[in-house]
Chains A and B, each alone.
Chain A
């Protein structure tokens, strides 16, 4: 199968994702520039962290106007997996592919450290490699990671089982300790923690591998390769 990693001006985790997929998950992967207008030939799309357009105006607000976004929206609509990490999560909410938004951390500071997450839904195409309730350690590195949505939306997220990862020790003020959510269809996941930074023991943890392995398992079990 083949992953696309989108790269916007100011993205800075695209190579980290690329390396994780190529060297650790050992699947095909290609960088796709923001100017491209097609995602044909890809089985899954990853949107990396960083500071697209310097986070100017609002995190993700300018990136969602990029030429690649209509193709991304079509890709998501087709039901194939889309994973946005950190700034990628922010772009997904700005692009209307996920509900809610990401505000400044309550501390008003950028925070980079390991956080313990609980797997709140092990049925999604991004988390089937984990067990329900499993505790995993992933790094966070963000200034705007405070997930917000209104009470009605939160009720829907809960009812539809869209909350995939939760913090055990909320670092940023997110509603309901949310660290990662999917859309209603379950094929678009946004998460603030960085699974691609936790794929090797030498870097402190390999708990993040499960996110990518789940995607691979989902695609391969459906036999939808290079359709």
Chain B
């Protein structure tokens, strides 16, 4: 190899790195350092090279702990154009159109700097979408917080929400949905998961690959600064009370620049495709990750980058800092030789900086020049495709081994009071205080805004729409990661189905604890298996996703929380259905059998302060059957409303369905008061215009129970076998609507 220059700064020498084991603090293990030294380079790596490997071999970039698990996902489907592996997955929705979606977590940055952590989460996932050549048409956010107790808790929640609002609103992509839940399991590890959905013409797919010797590597967008240095590696550590100060690892978002970069990149992809070989977002591990992945994917070539050409925000940045910075709003392109000037002009017209910083070379080496000297020289595949993979040990957690198989029995003396108390639980209560700060309508395609089961975004000029949702209940997974994983997918499917859609596929954010601990790895492994089983059942393949591990604090992990983001296709705009009761006289049914679903439920948490016991039963076949009944009923235009029954049970679904149009209900049921709080899966609450009664009952047979009718009197009355619920809708609405906004003031 060529002579590799040592940096002039006070960076450790290769010998010092070896002797002082300073690679440990950069995130590499002894084993990994040994691999680099003995198997990859056959010499001591210098400081910059150790940095490259620490970023690229982090869990965040390499999925080294989760890869063997992710392989278990169901990813097939005749409409899948691109599955996991690229920036985002693509599904064919007909008419030469593809829907592109992916989710990303920004948990660790948001835990230390909530506003910027959240903004850059939104920015990153948007880049993943538009780098595929798709225009982002909607975002969703899945948030998990501890129940706020102090001003500091409130500050964190408000700043995370403000960050999402600031970025998404500015760039002009509507934030149409998501989900927010509160549980102290997330006290030190709030979850900030962002999903973005894009729309593209299928003949314009772009991939992140750099092929062809002599082709140029073009850097596009914001200048590189010292923000977020080695953030990918940081995100792969756990937090503990001894290490509170990790602020420099958080980046700063600039949505205005991103908007310019997005418009410029879409212009290049749509109108200058002859010049473009590949395009990739500079996300985690910044310049090294984007360039090495692009080089490795192309296969058979090397790459040389001249770091002196990289636009820099600060003077005197080292090669290490330039390569590992996670400054935002940057893209990397591979451009056919001879077309550079054309593309540079396109970017200039959009007011976006773009500069050639290197080119594709013969051979397989990834080489960096800085101040005219070679500062890194490593095989390109060693950084990306050849990162180590670990098969972790799995062992059932203690709390699952001796779980009580009896279902919790709610104590209810005054059903109406329990109902009102439940409506004020933050996980149940209206999230308007959050989504009111998001622009939900820009692009003027939002047919169903936040507040119903799934958001619905129409495809302009076509008689079709997309339903989208994010869901997961970590409490279920805590009690049974496999069944809970199935339930997460099932709930997202119910939401999509209730909106009038057929599931297309899912993306996910796998938020888990430490994979090196067998009981925490067990949760990841089992959850993925359960999710995969459900995906296959609903023919909704996993097309993209993201992994966030090490969500633990002082060795206590969060609940296993694999966020599921599902997109469904609504095949005619007249299928769009919402949860609100529409008019007095419509008949109200519960579809699907109600059992005793209390372990892991909101009422167990509310009445005992904890979650315990064996999770209640769940049957995927029955779930699919009920979903298909609802889909048929919607497509036959028999339903006035449909609402998924989830947290809080049937009585919450009834109350929520009265709120939108301020109607009442007069119902009676064969269920007990307690059963109204059961969270048995595979159920919907629907309302049916009286003229459709016969047809509907014939269709659903014994799977539905007629409860009564919608009334005009703004009063909720529900007779159970051993008591009744009786409350003014106005009063219930105020409790439900005010609970969160009061806390966040």
Q: Which residues of A contact B (CB under 8 A)?
A: 9-10, 12-13, 15-16, 19-20, 49-51, 53-56, 109-113, 139, 141, 143, 194, 196-197, 199-200, 202-204
Contact = CB atoms under 8 A, between A and B. Distances in A.
A57 B609 CA distance: 48
Contact of B439 (A9, A15, A110): A110
A38 to B, nearest CB: 19
Contact of A109 (B255, B437, B460): B437
Contacts of A143: 169
A54 B329 CA distance: 14
B438 interface: yes
Contacts of B215: none
Interface string B164-195: 01100111100000000000000000000000
Contacts of B436: 109, 111-113
B223 to A, nearest CB: 16
A112 B440 contact: yes
Please list the 6 inter-chain residue pairs (A to B) with the smallest Cβ-Cβ separation, ordered nearest first.
A12-B172, A54-B256, A51-B170, A16-B444, A141-B439, A110-B437
B608 interface: no
21 contacts: A10-B256, A13-B172, A20-B444, A51-B172, A51-B255, A54-B170, A54-B256, A54-B257, A56-B256, A109-B436, A109-B437, A110-B438, A112-B436, A112-B438, A112-B439, A139-B441, A143-B169, A194-B441, A196-B444, A197-B441, A203-B444
B256 A16 contact: no
Contacts of A113: 436
A9 B349 CA distance: 11
Contacts, number: 82
B321 to A, nearest CB: 26
B254 A54 contact: yes
Interface in B410-453: 436-447, 449
Contacts of A49: 442
Contacts of A203: 441, 444-447
A110 B351 CA distance: 27
Given A51-B170, A110-B165, A196-B444, A10 B439 contact: no
B162 A109 contact: yes
B260 interface: yes
B737 interface: no
Contacts of B259: 9-10, 12, 51, 54
Contacts of B170: 10, 12, 51, 54-55
Interface in B350-409: 351
B256 A51 contact: yes
A135 B675 CA distance: 45
A200 B265 CA distance: 31
A26 to B, nearest CB: 14
Interface of B: 162, 165-166, 169-172, 254-257, 259-260, 351, 436-447, 449, 458, 460, 573
Contacts of A141: 169, 439, 441-442
Contacts of A54: 170, 254-257, 259
A194 B441 CA distance: 10
Contacts of B442: 12-13, 16, 49, 141, 197
A39 B162 CA distance: 38
Nearest to B256: A54
Given A109-B162, A111-B437, A141-B169, A16 B443 contact: yes
- Most B CB contacts (10 A, CB to CB) among A9, A110, A111, A141 go to A110
Contacts of A196: 444
Contacts of B351: 9
A127 B405 CA distance: 67
Given A51-B256, A139-B441, A200-B444, 13 more contacts: A9-B256, A10-B170, A10-B256, A50-B172, A54-B255, A54-B257, A55-B170, A110-B166, A112-B440, A141-B441, A143-B169, A197-B442, A203-B441
A19 B444 CA distance: 9
A110 B256 CA distance: 17
A12 B167 CA distance: 13
A110 B172 contact: no
B444 A197 contact: yes
Nearest to A171: B436
Contacts of A50: 172
A146 to B, nearest CB: 15
Contacts of B257: 54
A143 B168 CA distance: 13
Contacts of A53: 256
Contacts of A19: 444, 460
A9 B449 CA distance: 27
Nearest to B433: A109
Contacts of A12: 170-172, 259, 442
Contacts of A15: 443
Contacts of A204: 449
